[in-house]
Structure 1
Amino acid sequence: MSDTHARSDAELVAAAAAGSESAFRALYRAYIRPVFWIAHGLVGTRADAEDVAQETFMAAWRKLPELDLAGDSLLPWLATICRFQAANRVRRQQRDRANLSASADETLPATIDVERDVVEAQLVERILREVRTLSELDQQIFRLCAAEGYAYHEAAERLGVSHGVVRNRLSRIRTRLRSTIEPEGT
């Protein structure tokens, strides 16, 4: 028989497993609606059911060569794949929601304090203005140790000076900056 509609599921499965796209299309057309409604009953939304139905047929296409169709209908096998696909989707959505809420909690500040942000920005600007008045070596020491977190000996090696020079100069820089950032009038 050349008409795929008159062929049994077993014949269509065998042809599709051998690579016949037309046989697989015939199986798809025959079972997409029942698979969709099974999926819809499991996931609850049309969009998710459509995705699960498509995922079911993609998985079926990959697994067809292994299938030994025992009954007259492919539907029980497709329904089993559909249930697994739906369960995977539901687990993935639950995990995504949990991750999204956890990451939202971690990344969003509890409250926005505009006044604090303005004061901090002004403080940073005063510090940077004061650092620009320092000698070139002191600016480099400040950048390496205070801004980039280098240890004294690492900064000393990079700058070609001794450990003591870095330690002593950084101490003087900090004292100078402390006097700069203390609120006026205190």
Structure 2
Amino acid sequence: MAQTRGDTALVARAASGSEHAFRTLYRAYARPVYWIAHGILGSAPDAEDVTQETFVVAWRKLPGLELAGESLLPWLATICRFQAANRLRRRQRELAHTTDEADERIPSLIDVEQQVITAELAARIAQELGGLSALDREIFRLCATEGYDYRAAAAELGVGHGVVRNRLSRVRTRLRGAVTETEPAS
């Protein structure tokens, strides 16, 4: 039988209650989820809270999830956007109770067009990541998501330092192309 690609096996184990599998998913996606939340909220503490809330919701909903692609990121991004929107609404309600004037620093509720662009971007990135070889996905995960340097990733994967550097460069170029294709025309 062919080895399962992407997050499918981890998601199945986490949905069955494996905390180890869920921790692995958390480590792989906490940073991207945080940056999505931070982009929406513009506040590091709120982004940290929303990241945690996103993974709490994900843990509860994993047993019913049927993973559409090979990456969990689009699903997590959707949960994150809803959690961030809830936080913005809560901020606006609290502000309305404390002042008659709206605070200009608080972002307005998420624009529907921006939500669609964000969802398309996450789906496009997930699609590109799914099309990578297993080695390229691991290199990307270790270096881009977990912060390994080239030498540490090379040692972890049992390949040369140059292999990691060259492959990561190609992966980043490919992902930049995916992001550029998703950006709206100015």
- TM-score by length of structure 1 reads 0.50
In structure 2, give the amino acid aligned to 1:57. Answer: F
Change beyond 3 A, Cα 1:76–1:59: same
Which runs of structure 1 show a deviation greater than 3 angstroms over 4 or more consecutive aligned residues?
none
Structure 1 spans left out of the alignment, 5+ residues: 1-5, 103-186
Contact 2:15 2:62 in 1 (8 A): yes
The corresponding residue for 1:52 is 50
The higher radius of gyration belongs to 1
Corresponding position of 2:16: 18
Match runs of 1:14-163 below 5 Å = 14-101=12-99
Q: Distance in 2 between matches of 1:89 and 1:10?
A: 30
Higher relative CO (Cα under 8 Å, sequence separation at least 6) belongs to: 2
Q: Which amino acid aligns with 1:89?
A: R
Q: How many residues align?
A: 97
Task: Give the whole-Å Cα distance in 1 for the aligned partners of 2:43 and 2:31.
Answer: 15
Superposed CA deviations along residues 54-95 of structure 1, whole A, max 9, x for unmatched, are 100000001101100010100000000000000000000100
Contact 2:16 2:63 in 1 (8 A): yes
Residue identity in the other structure for 2:14: A
Residues 7 and 16 (structure 1), Cα distance of their counterparts in 2 relative to 1, 3 Å cut: farther
Shift of 1:99: 1.4
Percent identical residues: 70
Deviation, 1:43, is 0.3
- Alignment RMSD (CA, Å): 1.5
- Corresponding position of 1:135: none
Q: Where does structure 2 lack aligned partners over 5 or more consecutive residues?
A: 101-186
Give 1:100 shift. 2.3
C-alpha separation between the residues in 1 aligned to 2:25 and 2:84?
20
